Amino acid sequence: MIKSIFLSISALLFFQISLAQTQLKLPALVSDNMVLQQSTEISIWGWAEDNNSVKILPSWTQVPVSVKVNNSGKWKASLNTPVAGGPYTIALSSSNESIVLKNVMIGEVWLASGQSNMEMPIKGYRSEPINGNNELILNSKNSNIRMFTVARNSSKDPQEDCDGSWKISSPENTLDFSAVGYVFAQKLNRALNVPIGIIHSSWGGTPVEAWTQKSALNSSVSEQEQSTFNYNRSSTKREQDAPSQLFNGMIHPVLDYSIKGVIWYQGESNRNHPEVYQKTFPLMISNWRALWKNDSLPFYYVQIAPYGRYSGEVNSALLRESQLKTLDLLPHVGMAVTLDIGEYQSIHPAEKTKVGERLSYWALAKDYNIQGIGYSGPIYKSHKIDGEKILVSFDHAPMGLSSYEQPLDQFEIAGPDRVFYPGKATILKGGQVAVSAPQVKEPKAVRYGWSNYIKGTLYNTFGLPASS
């Protein structure tokens, strides 16, 4: 009797396993309510019975696409998408099963990634609010904004799928979604009047090396540099900090999904080794571009905000400088500056709406050719010594500079001894600032916002702050 029961259970398990292997299955990203990138060739992929075939028929065309399932049970099809619109359906069928994807929109798709400041939901963290979040939530009902959150997953091996589902923007769905990601999507939707899909994949407190493919790190980062990685020098080993763990679990499953570009908010966890971040951050960008097979994939990132409780006098300033230098190292990148919204007591600034807006300006100006808007804050261009003053010139200030009637007290100036003193700063015409100090008669160097915590007050006339 026991033997008979055992054989019956074994047969049932075998049947279930066999059935699972033959089922037509799609990844979580390819599902109802998704947004597909418009006017391009996109991929639809999944799993089915070995050596079977899968037929795909989108409702925007009358011509089906058929693909063979490989020996591993995987298949991938290429489809050409129309201009923005919808809703559409996509019918998929194999020899023994069919699936119909419903309420599919065509529009613009972006990936939002990083650590806790990107992950921070519209409802905020405990005792750390998001300014204006009640209005954001109240006005978030919009069927043309779709959101997908990749579930946290730290993995030693590249994963083929992730957990998550597409949500239509509404008060109940936006509450827990990335505030920066949502505001970015909202601004694009309002400006472009097309559906926007935003895929959010973040994990708080994690370093850039965790988001980078292992082969890229091993080929480009020395053993000495890798010894500075958070996981390698920490006595408390957090799996999610280990090199490539989050790339494997949270980026690799997304790589076949066609995206327009990436927004990124991260860096705080790499502040202790800004010189290594200067290499690993551009490396990650280039690595992702190679894997998405797009050398010009737009990548817009947030320069970390000032914060008063960092250890070390200028670690944050040095990390911000590393991020600034990335603008000169790679094409098709942009940086949203947050020097004016940092908080002394909280590493999570409440002004997430401004962050999302500033990222959107880069995309709207550079990728959607919206004319007339400012997209970058003032960026240091050059300086000239003029007697006992230094004249500092800035790019991205076509109509000049302003402090909006706030004190401009974040400049410092030094002589040959390189001892810096607080500078008196005066805004001049033509995007210049004159800096002097009574202690410095022979000026040689000048700097702005060179501190872990600073409240930046230098802007262009579009209201965008200057970088330190």
Same-domain pairing of 197 and 55:
no
C-alpha pair distances (Å), 261 with each of 296, 310, 464: 9, 31, 22
Sign of CA dihedral 178, 183, 185, 186: positive
- Residue 373 located in a structural domain: no
175 and 93 both lie in a single domain: no
Contact status, residue 22 vs residue 49, Cβ threshold 8 Å: yes
**Within this chain, do residues 168 and 257 fall inside the same structural domain, yes or no?**
yes
Residue 372 is assigned to a structural domain of this protein: no
| Domain finish residue from 313, 334, 366 | 366
Could you give the number of structural domains in the chain? 3
* Predicted pLDDT of residue 311: 75
Q: Are residues 191 and 176 in the same domain?
A: yes
Residue 153, in any domain of the structure: yes
Domain boundary among 82, 104, 126: 104
Do 77 and 138 belong together in one domain? Answer: no
pLDDT at site 449: 97
Report pTM: 0.94
Phi then psi dihedrals of residue 366, to 5 deg: -90, -35
In a domain, 3, yes or no: no
Neighbours of 205 (CB within 10 A): 15
At 232 the pLDDT is 87
Instruction: Please indicate, yes or no, whether residues 291 and 169 belong to a single structural domain of this protein.
Output: yes
Say whether both 42 and 182 belong to one domain.
no
Contact 377, 467 (CB under 8 A): yes
CA distance 402 to 297: 33
227 and 113 within one domain? yes
Q: Where are the alpha helices (DSSP H) in 292-432?
A: 315-329, 352-366
Q: 88 and 120 share a domain?
A: no
The boundaries of the domain holding residue 402 are 379-460
Q: What is the pLDDT of residue 22?
A: 59
Give the end of a domain, one of 366, 389, 406. 366
Establish if 374 belongs to a structural domain.
no
If asked whether residues 38 and 122 sit together in one domain, one would say no
pLDDT of residue 3: 46
Question: DSSP string covering 144-204, please?
Answer: EEEEEEPPP---SS--S-----EEEE-HHHHTTSBHHHHHHHHHHHHHH-S-EEEEEEE-T
Q: How far apart (Å, rounded) are the C-alpha atoms in residues 434 and 384?
A: 10
In a domain, 94, yes or no: yes
Taking 70 as the pLDDT cut, the residues of the chain under it are 1-22, 312
Rounded CA-CA distance 187/361 in Å is 9
The full DSSP string for 268-323 is GGGTT-HHHHHHHHHHHHHHHHHHTT-TT--EEEEPPPPBTT-SSSSHHHHHHHHH
In a domain, 243, yes or no: yes
Whether 54 is covered by a domain: the verdict is yes
Answer yes or no: do 126 and 88 share one domain.
Answer: no
* Per-residue model confidence (pLDDT) at position 21: 53
338 and 246 inside one domain? yes
